[in-house]
Amino acid sequence: MWRRGDAQSIAAIGNPLIWWGGLAAMLLSWWLGARNRDKAVLTIAVMYLSFYVPWMVSPRSITFLYHYFPMVPLLILSIVWMLRWVEQRWYYGRTFTVLVVAGAAVLFIWFYPVLTGMTISREWMNFGIRWLPSWGF
């Protein structure tokens, strides 16, 4: 039921834990993997760069979010590699892994209204879901 002050929006945003945490995991795994000559990490790095570098050197001045989508599975693979690395070296590694996975699930639920166009209060959209001023919904 629509009420005054309600809002709806559909946005193609990614899970911040996956996208931002994945980028951090990617960079850290590159450093650790290069040090240990880990072929899995080096493969992920080459694949990621093979998707990303063409957009860096493209003469087009405009890019869209969907250009980044092929790289997201590689971010997830980097997170998985880092979580495995943490589990092997830290007593609480398994607990940390569970917290990261739970955090990703919570953030999916948190952003579900703007992923699906669900009706929510405008206050919740502006103060709960819009984390950055540049997020236009």
The pLDDT tens digits of the residues spanning 107-126 come to 999 999 988 988 888 888 88
- Of 89 and 68, more confident: 89
Residue 2 — pLDDT band, cuts 50, 70, 90? low
pLDDT tops 90 at residue 99: yes
The model's pTM? 0.83
pLDDT at 1: 56
pLDDT at 15: 92
pLDDT at 60: 75
What are the beta bridge partners of residue 121? 6
**CA contacts within 13 A on the Cβ side of 122:** 6
Q: CB count, 10 Å around CB of 8?
A: 15
**How much is the average pLDDT of 39-68?**
84
